[in-house]
Structure 1
Amino acid sequence: MDNRFANIFGLTEEQSIALLDTPPEQATDESERYIAASQLANYPSEASINALIRAVNVTYDSLDNRITRRKSVESLGKLKAKQSLEVIRPCLSDTDRYTVEAAVWTIGEIGTENTEILEEITQLLLKPDQAYRVIIHTLVKLNYVAAVDRVRPFMDHEDEPTASAAIATVCRFAQDFSQIDRVVSFLQSDSVNARRACLEDLINARYYAAIPAIARCPISLMFRLRAIRSLADSGIAAGEVSINEVLPVIEQILLDHPNDLDLVHEYDQPPVLEFLIRELYHTDFGRTYLATQTLIEQQSEAVPTALFETYEAEAHNDYGAHYHVMKLMGWLKHQPAYDLLLEALTNTSPQFMKSRAAAALSLGYLGDQRAIAPLQTSAQSNIWMLQYTSLMALEKLGDYSQHKLLLEADDWAVRAKANQVLPGVTTNSTGLMNS
Structure 2
Amino acid sequence: MSERFDTLFAGMSEETAMETLLKPPAELKNPGLKYLAATRLGACQSPESLQRLLAAGANDSDDLYERITRRKALEALGRRKDRSALPVLLAALQADDEPTVVNAADAIARLSTPLNKEEQTALLQALQGPDNQRRAVLQAFCRLGMNDASGQIDRCRNDSNPLVAGAAHAYAIRVLGDQQGLHPLVEQLRDDNPGRRRAAVIDLGDAGRIEALAALIRCPVSMPLRAKSAFQMATRQTGAVDPDATDLLKELLQDDPRQLNLDGIPETAAEPEAIKEGLQHRDEARQYAAAKALMAMPRAAQLDQIDALRSSLGSDYGVHYLLASCTGLLELHERSDLVRDALAETAPQYAKSRIAGAWSCLRLQLRDQTSLLEEVGRSHPWQPLQWSCREVALLLS
Question: Which residue in the other structure is 1:63 paired with?
Answer: 64
The 2-side partners of 1:285 and 1:201 are apart by: 18
Q: Residue 145 of structure 1 aligns to a residue in which SS? A: coil
Aligned counterpart, 1:219? 221
Moved more, 345-354 or 164-173: 345-354
Shift of 1:89: 2.2
Match of 2:389 among 386, 390, 414: 386
Cα distance, 1:55–1:271 mapped onto 2, change above 3 Å? same
**What is aligned with 1:341?**
339
Report the Cα distance in structure 1 between the residues aligned to 2:324 and 2:170, rounded to whole angstroms.
36
**What per-residue deviation string (whole Å, max 9, x for no partner) do you get for residues 198-246 of structure 1?**
22322332322111111211122222232222222237889xx951x21
Tell me which residue corresponds to 1:103.
104
C-alpha contact (below 8 Å) 1:208/1:231 kept by paired residues: yes
Tell me, yes or no, if the aligned pair for 2:138 and 2:167 is still in contact at 8 Å.
Answer: yes
**Pair 178,300 (structure 1): closer, same or farther in 2 beyond 3 Å:** same
How many Å separate the matches in 2 of 1:144 and 1:303? 52
- Of 210-219 and 378-387, the range deviating more from structure 2: 378-387
1:345-384 residue pairs with structure 2 within 5 A? 345-366=343-364, 371-375=366-370, 377-381=372-376, 382=378, 383-384=386-387
Alignment root-mean-square deviation, CA: 2.7
How far does the alpha carbon of each residue in 1:319-363 deviate from its partner, in whole angstroms, 9 at most, with x for none? 221111122223333332122323333333333333233234334
The superposition leaves residues 159-192 of structure 1 with CA deviations (integer Å, 9 ceiling, x where unpaired) of 3222211112123333322232001111112233
The answer to whether structure 1 residue 262 and structure 2 residue 265 are counterparts is: no
Give the match for residue 272 of structure 2. 273
Indicate if the aligned counterparts of 1:104 and 1:134 stay in contact, CA closer than 8 A. Answer: yes
Tell me if the contact between 2:268 and 2:293 (Cα under 8 Å) persists in the aligned partners: no
| CA separation of 1:14 and 1:179: change in aligned 2, threshold 3 A | closer
For structure 2, list consecutive stretches of 5 or more residues without a partner in the other structure: 379-385
Q: 1:173 to 1:84 in 2, by over 3 A?
A: closer
> Secondary structure of 2:42's match?
helix
Q: TM-score, normalised by structure 1?
A: 0.80
Q: Following TM superposition, by how much is the alpha carbon of 1:154 offset from its aligned partner in structure 2, in angstroms?
A: 2.3
CA distance in structure 1 between the partners assigned to 2:276 and 2:162 by the alignment: 30
* SS of the residue 2:148 aligns to: helix
After superposition, the C-alpha distances for 1:259-286 in whole angstroms (9 at most, x for unaligned) are 2221144337846321112322334321
What amino acid maps onto 1:104 in structure 2? A
Unpaired stretches in structure 1, ≥5 consecutive residues: 395-401, 403-435
Matching of residue 140 in structure 1 with residue 139 in structure 2 = no
How many Å separate the matches in 1 of 2:226 and 2:131? 30
Residue in 2 that maps onto 1:207: 209
Equivalent residue, structure 2, for 1:113 = 115
Aligned to 1:92: 93
Rounded to whole Å, the distance in 1 between the matches of 2:181 and 2:149 is 18
Measured after TM superposition, the shift of residue 11 of structure 1 is: 1.1
Structure 1 residues 117, 33: closer, same or farther in 2, change over 3 A? same
From 228, 231, 237, the equivalent of 1:229 is: 231
The secondary structure found in structure 2 opposite 1:139 is helix
Identity %: 28
- Give, in whole Å, the separation in 2 of the partners of 1:235 and 1:284: 34
TM-score (ref. length: structure 2): 0.87
Q: Deviations over 1:106-125 (max 9, x none)?
A: 22222342211211211222
- In structure 1, C-alpha distance between the alignment counterparts of 2:234 and 2:271, rounded to whole Å: 41
The 5-angstrom pairing of residues 151-230 of structure 1 reads: 151-230=153-232
Match of 2:23 in 1: 22
Structure 1 residue 7: Cα displacement: 4.8
Measured after TM superposition, the shift of residue 300 of structure 1 is 4.4
CA distance in 1, matches of 2:373, 2:264: 35
Residue of structure 1 equivalent to 2:383: none
Give CA deviations for 1:60-85 in whole Å, capped at 9, x if unaligned. Answer: 33122111122222211211232222
Whether contact under 8 Å (1:17, 1:36) holds in the other structure is: yes
1:303 is aligned to 302
The residue type paired with residue 72 of structure 1 is A
CA distance in structure 2 between the aligned counterparts of 1:338 and 1:23, rounded to whole angstroms? 52
Q: Deviations over 1:352-394 (max 9, x none)?
A: 3332332343344446xxx3222354245323212323444x3
Residue 288 of structure 1, CA deviation? 1.7
Could you tell me which amino acid in structure 2 is paired with residue 49 of structure 1?
L
Q: Match of 2:19, as an amino acid?
A: A
Letter in 2 for 1:15: T
Go from structure 1 to structure 2 and tell me whether the alpha carbon gap of 1:385 and 1:379 turns closer, same or farther (over 3 Å shift). same
Partner of 2:151: 149
Aligned equivalent of 1:417: none
Q: Structure 1 counterpart of 2:6, which letter?
A: A
Query: 1:138 Cα deviation (Å)?
Result: 0.6
The structure with the larger Rg is 1
2:228 and 2:286 mapped to 1: Cα distance? 21
Secondary structure of 1:42's aligned partner: coil
> Aligned residues, how many?
387
Structure 1 residue 2 displacement after superposition: 7.8
Decide whether aligned partners of structure 1 residues 298 and 266 sit closer, same or farther in structure 2, where only a CA change above 3 A counts.
Answer: farther
Q: Bigger shift: 264-273 or 253-262?
A: 264-273
